[in-house]
Structure 1
Amino acid sequence: MAGFRTRHRQQVADEALVRSLFEEHGKAMLAYATRLLGDRAAAEDVVQEALVRAWRHPESLVNGKGSVRGWLLTVVRNLVTDKIRARAARPTEVAESPTTVPVARDHSDQVVDSMVVLAALDDLSAEHREVLEHVYLHGRTVGETAERLGIPPGTVKSRSYYGLRALREQFRSQRLGVGAA
């Protein structure tokens, strides 16, 4: 029980320390951080972080090496420097709007679509799949596909037609939930 009381007293003392630091030096810290950053909200964050550091290292405040305010303002300056370096290290964030579109769209939809199409192609007959792969995936003409597969162009057209029709039917039944587990 004595350990609990000691910890509780220490916590109350730490809170009182931070409160008194803020009351005595908070305005100066905020003004300094705001002047360095040019952004009040960011400056408030920096002041808060500086007070957290003071709370974590109370021994630094009473080590006899300069004033408490000097130590706090040095911490503020270091935090601002870190913040500025962090901003410079990564590109500026720009809000997305109709006039400012992202540089690269998320390609996950494209990946999912490709996976769905490839899975549907696996369900086709080998002849239909082979023709559709040549014509649509490899971008070959009917004549080129016929020559590569050694079949007449009319057969390429027919297999392409019936293969696409089978794919459409698969997608329609998936969308309607037919055959889903």
Structure 2
Amino acid sequence: MKKYILIFILFFGVSYAQKVVSVYNLSSKAIRLNMIVTKPPTGTYPWCASVSPTQITLAPYSGQFILKNTSSTTKFPFLSTVSPVITNWRKVVFVPPGPNGSFTNLTSALLYADAITPNQNFNYLTFSIYNTANTINLNAGGTIGVSTPSTIVYSSQAISVDYGGFQNTPTEFEHSLIFTDL
């Protein structure tokens, strides 16, 4: 059933003409999206990550988050036009060995206008799973995205998360992530 839902979302997502990241919570537990991370089309740098305090919590059974911007067909939707909006991002241009890296904290509008980051792509998101008492379970959560398995099962939390992507054009890609109960 989960695969049919993913196919349905991807099929009807074709009408979007830009890069889109869609996250749906169809599980019985709340999910917190901790960080969304991008990557350049080639190479390692620069990459960008959403930063606190804009963590987004998806309610059980019906929570959803869609990151998109209809004003551009090629830019990553750092400046999303859908609420809730991520307001702050970190652009990492180089990480040398050791504790010091080269990064800049930017608002969504500044990052969207930045000349070095227009063609970023979704890489992965990190998340936490709430327990039944509606508090964050610090031992439950993980990472899902392009470089992870397309389905990850968290048996201890009775949750599964599926990732899938759809190529709209050679330069446009839609990413969908769906949380469901086992």
Q: Same fold (TM over 0.5)?
A: no
Q: TM-score range by the shorter chain?
A: under 0.3
TM-score by length of 1: 0.17
Bigger proportion of residues as helix: 1
Which structure has the larger Rg?
1
Bigger proportion of residues as strand: 2
Q: Point out which structure has higher relative CO (alpha carbons under 8 A, 6+ apart).
A: 2
